[in-house]
Amino acid sequence: MSGHSKWANIKHKKGKADAQKGKIFTKLGREIVVASRACGGDVNNFRLKIAIENAKANNVPNENIQRAIQKGTGGAEGSTYEELRYEGYGPGGVAVMIDILTDNRNRTAGEVRHIFSKNGGNMGETGCVGWMFQDKGQLTIPRDGLKLSEDDLMMIALEAGADDLEADAEEFVIYTSPEAMEGVSKAFEEQNIVVSESVLSPVAQNTIEITDAEQARKLVHLMETLEDHDDTQGVYSNFELSEELADQEF
């Protein structure tokens, strides 16, 4: 993947837009609410544990985290969120999936459909692109402060059950099966390796290289607009930018 940029890398290079816009606390809080509801507030549950860890990594105050857990377990009033996944196509037929947490599915569906159509894409039926993706655990480790070599990190990851490791100038991303994610996370914890983000999300099994600058601009704008929607928890696609476009600003 050297010289190329997938959407996750593009988003990272552009900075944490959600944090800049004050939305990340809301998104992380919703994930804690839903995870807490599913497990009854058991903080040893892996989904809730990583939701809390991600919130702490993004400096969400402890009182916000506790309030979200209470909402999830019925200890505080709050909206009832529904988990949804929308699928569709971006400019040029690129596959796009969006994970949603909403308290009004009709409103959200209409708004997401409008974003697709306004940005050169179209929202599809459930399953239209889902077959192109596979759920993977993704553990992000910053290079800054890491005392291990890449080879040593890879060895720890593989011995713990990881599938693959990708690297760029700023961080490593370790990919695991959903079943192995917790074990790999614990292995890093035992080695005092800082994991800045832990997510379980769809990863494209094959990617499409984008070489046209105008198509790249349209795709990035579509993805950013979907990311900015208040109900969005994650946006995924199967495109990557060519080496010539990888470092361009869009």
- Check pLDDT > 70 for residue 2: no
The answer to whether 109 and 86 have CB atoms below 8 angstroms apart is: yes
Separation between Cα atoms, residue 164 and residue 236, nearest integer Å = 19
- β 122-123/82-89 pair status: antiparallel
How much is the pTM?
Answer: 0.82
Residue 227 backbone phi and psi in degrees, to 5: -60, -35
- d(CA 98, CA 196) in angstroms, rounded, equals 22
CATH superfamily of 133-203: YebC, transcriptional regulation domain (3.30.70.980)
Res 14 pLDDT > 70? no
Query: Looking at residue 4, what is its pLDDT?
Result: 47
Give pLDDT, residue 5: 57
Work out the average pLDDT over 94-117: 95
Question: Who wins on pLDDT, 1 or 116?
Answer: 116
CATH hierarchy code of domain 82-131+205-241 = 3.30.70.980
- pLDDT tens profile 198-248: 888 899 999 999 999 999 999 999 999 999 898 998 899 999 988 888 777
- 179's CB contacts (< 8 A; 6+ apart) are none
Burial (CB < 10 A; 0-12, 13-18, 19+), residue 90, is buried
pLDDT at 142 over 70: yes
* Superfamily (CATH) of domain 13-72: Integrase, N-terminal zinc-binding domain (1.10.10.200)
Contact predicate 198/54, CB 8 Å: yes
Q: Residue 22's pLDDT band (boundaries 50, 70, 90)?
A: low
Residue 54: predicted pLDDT: 86
Give the residue extent of every domain in the chain: 13-72, 82-131+205-241, 133-203
Residue 1: pLDDT over 60: no
pLDDT digits (tens, 9 = 90+) for 36-63: 988 888 888 888 998 998 888 888 889 9
Mean pLDDT for the chain?
87
Establish whether domains 82-131+205-241 and 133-203 are of one fold: yes
Least Cα distance to 154 among 7, 240, 178, 146 occurs for: 146
